[in-house]
Amino acid sequence: MQSTAVKSDDQEKSAPKEKAAKEHPSGDKRFKVLDITMKRNQYRQDALIEVLHKAQEAFGYLEEDVLVYVARNLKLPLSRVYGVATFYHLFSLKPSGSHTCVVCLGTACYVKGGGEVLASLEKRTGIQQGETTADGEVSLITARCVGACGIAPVVVYDGTVSGKQTSEQALDHIKGWIK
């Protein structure tokens, strides 16, 4: 009985420390999605591909900040993480457009109208998800749960998460990007 109590005390003491050390300073909830995946895999280095896959789902592509974050948490050299990210075709390191618009199509966002928001953006830009406009201005990307389900549907404009988006708001947001 006593030993059980000691054990849970220890766990309680170490849990907040671990969390504080690993949390991303930006407060971007998408990093929480990564945290959960890494934690579930006990920060094992051989979970790298699964973690990168989850990162791509959450962010739409693997920006440098994300690769650095993963490398640090899995205690892997950044070169190794880059190597894996560039080797597999399913990973994309950068959208090619000057602006990025990531529409979340995770379950919560989808049921709240994320699909319609995407359809409006595709119609307005003349491109499909995963593509960049011919003038190189806008990349339209989809993600599966960016960790902000409470404000679904979510669109991430140039890295800024915006919640409760309607088609009108999304079109308004990108109007300066379209020539």
Interface with ligand FES by CB under 6 A: which residues?
104, 106-109, 145-149, 152, 154
**CB count in 10 Å sphere of residue 118:** 24
Q: Which lies closer to ligand FES via its Cβ, residue 161 or residue 171?
A: 161
> Closest approach of Cβ 142 to ligand FES, in Å?
10
> Closest approach of Cβ 148 to ligand FES, in Å?
4
What would the two tokens of residue 168 be?
A: 């009108």
* Residue with the CB atom nearest ligand FES in the bound state: 106
Hey, what's the torsion of the CAs at 47, 160, 143, 146, to 10 degrees? 60
Q: Which lies closer to ligand FES via its Cβ, residue 29 or residue 99?
A: 29
Q: Which lies closer to ligand FES via its Cβ, residue 48 or residue 51?
A: 51
> Closest approach of Cβ 10 to ligand FES, in Å?
33
**DSSP alpha helix (H) spans, the chain:** 2-22, 30-40, 48-59, 64-74, 78-87, 107-109, 115-125, 167-174
> Closest approach of Cβ 62 to ligand FES, in Å?
18
Q: Which lies closer to ligand FES via its Cβ, residue 38 or residue 105?
A: 105
Contact 138, 125 (CB under 8 A): yes
Sequence-separated (6 or more) residues with CB below 8 Å from residue 102: 59, 60, 141, 142, 143, 146, 155, 156
